[in-house]
Structure 1
Amino acid sequence: MKSVVVALGLMAWAAAAGAADHRVVIEGMAFTPKVVAVQPGDTITWVNKDIFVHNVTAAAAGIKSGDLKPGQSWRHTVRRGVSFDYLCSLHPVMTGRVEVEAEGKALRPARPRSTS
């Protein structure tokens, strides 16, 4: 019961703070959208719609979803204002980025990153 109260409290805090929910679809060996612009407190849900098992791994940010079978999803709430790159450790060619803006700042489109 205590965990339910805590969860409801966190949901109420997020709603009051104007937190947003974002969705990244894993399909066709890719993350879509490739770049997600968020603010601290926002939640990102990765949904595996592919036929293969995938994961979301960002070692620098300490994020590891575990393996997501087709049809499974995983949620992460962004706590800090630090942007990070992530990948599927099973298929390292699959990459994405979370651009975290400071609270209250207008979100700007992500700048293209050089691949050279």
Structure 2
Amino acid sequence: MAWMASPVLVGLLLVAAPQLAAAATSEVTVKIANFTFSPADLTITPGTTVTWVNNDDIPHAVVETEKTFRSKALDTDDKFSFTFTNPGEFSYFCSLHPHMTGKITVKK
């Protein structure tokens, strides 16, 4: 009976693997640390969710220059997520520390 489990597992992996790969590419994390966004410049496809995580000891807020998205003040370990549905360039900054900047480019 053990020999029958292998083909079943292989079949499940072949079916699930593409879905897992697609899910992995649709979420990206931007770390906030040492008064920087990392990565500061990012290129993604429509439908991707970007999550900013504050790894600094002080609050930061993520604001897109055209106000497409805006986080509350993020304390240490707080997160903010936004899903990009349209192509374009989205420049953003920390409203508490305006010298902190980044850009998300969404391409089909």
TM-score, normalization by structure 1: 0.70
% of aligned pairs identical?
32
Unaligned runs of 5+ in 2: 1-18
Per-residue Cα deviation, 1:14-60 (whole angstroms, up to 9, x for no partner): x69x4611110000000000111111100101000001100110131
2-structure distance, mates of 1:53, 1:99: 25
What is aligned with 2:61? Answer: 55
| Partner residue of 1:74 out of 67, 75, 80 | 80
1-structure distance, mates of 2:83, 2:106: 12
Per-residue Cα deviation, 1:68-95 (whole angstroms, up to 9, x for no partner): 0011011110011111100001000000
Task: Map residues 1-116 of structure 1 onto 2, 5 A cutoff.
Answer: 18=22, 20-102=26-108
Question: Over aligned residue pairs, what C-alpha RMSD do you find?
Answer: 1.6
Q: Is the 8 A contact 1:55 1:66 kept in 2?
A: yes
Q: Which has the higher helix share?
A: 2
Q: Is the 8 A contact 2:89 2:103 kept in 1?
A: yes
SS in 2 for 1:97: strand
1-structure distance, mates of 2:98, 2:67: 17
Q: Which has the larger radius of gyration?
A: 2
2-structure distance, mates of 1:62, 1:76: 10
SS in 2 for 1:75: strand
- Alignment length, in residue pairs? 87
SS in 2 for 1:63: coil
1-structure distance, mates of 2:81, 2:92: 14
Deviating 4+ runs (over 4 angstroms) = none
2-structure distance, mates of 1:100, 1:83: 6
